[in-house]
Amino acid sequence: MKDQFYLHFETMPKATAQQKGVYVRNGKPRFYEKSSVESAKNQFYAVLKPYAPKTPTSAPVKLTIWFAFDVKDKKKWGKPKTSRPDTDNYLKLFKDVMTICGFWLDDAQVVDERVYKTYAEKATIMVKWEEIREVEP
């Protein structure tokens, strides 16, 4: 299976999987997911779910993601975005939601991933994923 699609947002969610809140109860720290992370998950879920396959794949997956963050400055459009959020934490949240939507059984199946982060006029995520048999270096 191979698929490619584009997701559009009013503005790109910027929360990452690493943004946890903490409080102390009975002398022990307790961690929880902040509301901004939950909101980002809900936004990703709403746009991803219509593209999910009927049954999750069990095959290894090659995943390419292009995050285009909206910015008003035309001079930045198409240029690499080198500021936060960083790609690994941002991609983790996105892959978690893809797992919840049923693209694959476990995100450990993603054996080849490419991530791009740029500026653009409109907030867009391009997703390309495919089942693979061999990994190319």
Given a contact cutoff of 8 angstroms between Cβ atoms, the answer to whether 35 and 104 are in contact is: no
Residue 64, beta-bridge partner list? 114, 128
Given a contact cutoff of 8 angstroms between Cβ atoms, the answer to whether 90 and 16 are in contact is: yes
pLDDT at 47 over 90: yes
Complete domains list, the chain, with CATH? 2-131 (3.30.1330.70)
pLDDT at 114 over 80: yes
Of all residues in the chain, the percent with pLDDT exceeding 90 is 73
pLDDT at 17 over 70: no
Identify the three-state secondary structure at position 124: strand
Identify the three-state secondary structure at position 33: strand
Query: Residue type for 37, please?
Result: V
pLDDT tens, position by position, 62-98 = 999 999 999 999 999 999 999 999 999 899 999 999 9
Query: Residue type for 61, please?
Result: V
**pLDDT number for residue 109:** 97
pLDDT at 20 over 80: no
pTM for the whole structure: 0.87
Of 61, 68, 58, the C-alpha closest to 7 is 68
**pLDDT number for residue 127:** 98
DSSP string of 78-118?
Answer: TSB--SSSPHHHHHHHHHHHHHHHTSBS-GGGEEEEEEEEE
Grade residue 18 by pLDDT with cuts at 50, 70 and 90.
low
Given a contact cutoff of 8 angstroms between Cβ atoms, the answer to whether 122 and 7 are in contact is: no
